[in-house]
A and B are shown apart, each in its own frame.
Chain A
Amino acid sequence: MAASQHPLILFAQREVMPRNRTRSVLQDEGYDVLAAADGSEALELFRANVRTIDLLLTAVELPAVDGITAYRQITAEQPNIKVLFLSGDGTPNGLALPNAWPTIATPFPPETLLAKVTEVLDECQPMTEKHLNVILVVDHDKDRQDRTSKILTENGYAVLTANSVEQAESLADTIATIDLIISGIVFPGHSGIHLAEHVEASQRKVSTLLISHFDRDLLHKMPGFSRQPEFLPNPFTPEALLTRVRRLLDA
């Protein structure tokens, strides 16, 4: 990094000691750093330093305003800002972003962080033209969860994953900017229908796509199933999944 340039990094992370360590590493390297404990603080700092911030370095899960929401609000006001997400920070299985989106898995050694920050600042273009659609994939079958996530990330979607409905409901309550939930129906605990009703009750604009290998006629006997508009029989092809996803996100 050119020492004379002092790029300004807006950094948001909930945990206080990792926040202090990361800020210190960046400052020791010559970066100017604004540190926030939450997305709401990051937005406040951004608005006090608007158009001077070079990079948003943010965790996804933050106490009040999550990192994705903060990113969307900031880029709406400063489209040329660059972003680096901390992946695996707080979220049960982390956030998988499409390849073009820069992420760094936590915890990370200082040299990895510095290399990634340099790479993003020097080589990456701001992601201004791309809308970041976030999809929560809920499946207790890890192989199927991985397959679904892979199809989605390879086609430009950001993916959060949860292994149970309870975990998904917690994530959906925490991350404001989930655009779509793709969930199995039959789980050991609460059902996918329960999850869809939970999200619907929050009155947010989040669509739900339910997936199951059970016969539709059998599923119709489950309370609440007939009210769910989108259902995809399992097994499914990537094309069938992507068609449903596009339709729901465009709706």
Chain B
Amino acid sequence: MTEPPFRGALTILVVEDEPIVRNIIMKSLVREDYRVLEADSAAEALEVSQTFSGTIDLLIADHTLKTMTGRQVAEQIRQDRPGLKVLHISGLSLEKLEQDGGVIPGAEFLAKPFSPKTLVNKVDQILGTTRNRSASG
């Protein structure tokens, strides 16, 4: 039977231009053992994707970035990383967000504000993760 991946083996890229929100997300995920890369803009997110040689397992993208929407960032990164999973986050409702470009197909959505626990649960659900490597692993 295939074991679920453990959090420490997975890398998440967070793109969020609000520094306080970005750092809360980072802290929430790092505390739960995820490997996390941060970007404060669409341009930085694309740079990280192009520069980072490892696998990025999940992109967490704020919808309203200064130069692009979260969907546009996800679309660009998926050109190089086709299997990339995406979690859109926004202060807009999903309904409003659909009127403003929407989410990339197959992506999940989490409305702001959210608690660290809600975020981690959502990420765990998307990635199908467990916290620790099994004793036999």
State the A residues within 8 Å of B (CB). Answer: 16-17, 19-20, 23-24, 27, 32, 34-38, 41, 44-45, 48
Known A16-B40, A20-B38; further 20 A-B contacts with Cβ < 8 A? A16-B38, A16-B47, A16-B48, A17-B48, A17-B52, A19-B38, A20-B37, A20-B48, A23-B38, A32-B27, A34-B23, A35-B22, A35-B38, A36-B19, A37-B41, A37-B44, A41-B19, A44-B20, A45-B19, A48-B20
Let me know if B73 is at the binding interface, CB within 8 A: no
A17/B19 contact (C-beta < 8 A), A32-B27, A35-B38, A37-B40 known: no
State the B residues within 8 Å of A (CB). Answer: 19-20, 22-23, 26-27, 30, 35, 37-41, 44, 47-48, 51-52
Please give the distance in Å from B98's CB to the nearest CB on chain A: 30
Instruction: Give the chain B neighbours of A48 by CB distance below 8 A.
Output: 20
Q: How far is the CA of A188 from the CA of B40 in the complex (A)?
A: 40
Q: List 5 A-B contacts (CB under 8 A).
A: A17-B51, A32-B27, A35-B22, A45-B19, A45-B23
Instruction: Give the chain B neighbours of A17 by CB distance below 8 A.
Output: 47-48, 51-52
Name the CB-closest residue of B to A21: B37
Interchain residue pairs A-B with the least CB separation, the first 7: A41-B19, A37-B40, A16-B44, A34-B23, A20-B37, A48-B20, A17-B51
Please give the distance in Å from B83's CB to the nearest CB on chain A: 22
Cross-chain contact A27 with B23 (CB below 8 angstroms)? no
Name the CB-closest residue of A to B35: A24
Cross-chain contact B39 with A45 (CB below 8 angstroms)? no
Please give the distance in Å from B44's CB to the nearest CB on chain A: 4
Please give the distance in Å from B108's CB to the nearest CB on chain A: 23
Instruction: Give the chain B neighbours of A34 by CB distance below 8 A.
Output: 19, 23
